[in-house]
Amino acid sequence: MSAAHGAEAPDSNMKKGFTLVELIIVVIIVGILASIGLTQYNKVVERGRASEARMILGTLRGAQIANNYDLGTYVDVPALGVSAPTACSTTHYFSYSCNTGGLCTATRCTSGGKAQNGTMGSWTKTLDVSGTWGGSAGF
């Protein structure tokens, strides 16, 4: 059809593509989604690393119970003969301690060793001889 029959000819000056404002909006949206995703990813990774603390705290609890049956007392980690670091090391994500009441604590390393990469801060996981879990940060 020609222009005389009512159909308009395509505008040859019209450019196809995105405007700068549209691109900026897309970049902002992607940035927001990435920051939310990274935060959630860090939480999932920390929950996974908390399994180390649960496993070693369970071992410490068993050793505390056995020591109490044998000697009638609860002791700190070195006296238990369990392989658990009392300071941050390159092999573990936590340092461990036990008190004379039988409560053992895993404290997340924030420097040295396998320190966390995120901004979660120091948090703890505890287990007492009765099997009660506690700690901070919901892990």
Read off the CATH number of the domain in which 45 is found.
3.30.700
Put simply, whether the predicted model's pTM sits higher than 0.85 gets the answer no
Residue with tokens 């070693």: 56
CB 74 within 8 A of CB 129: yes
Q: 26 lies in which domain range?
A: 21-135
Say how many domains are in the chain. Answer: 1
CB 97 within 8 A of CB 122: no
How distant is the alpha carbon of residue 93 from its chain centre? 11
- The answer to the question of residue 114 being in a domain is yes
pLDDT tens-digit series, residues 3-39: 555 555 556 666 788 889 999 999 999 999 998 888 8
What pLDDT is stored for residue 10 in this prediction? Answer: 58
pLDDT tens-digit series, residues 38-91: 888 888 888 888 899 999 999 999 999 999 999 999 999 998 888 889 888 888
- The answer to the question of residue 1 being in a domain is no
What pLDDT is stored for residue 17 in this prediction? Answer: 82
- The answer to the question of residue 78 being in a domain is yes
- The answer to the question of residue 9 being in a domain is no
What pLDDT is stored for residue 119 in this prediction? Answer: 59
For residues 118 and 95, what is the distance between their CA atoms, to the nearest angstrom? 18
- The answer to the question of residue 33 being in a domain is yes
For residues 70 and 68, what is the distance between their CA atoms, to the nearest angstrom? 5
- The answer to the question of residue 8 being in a domain is no
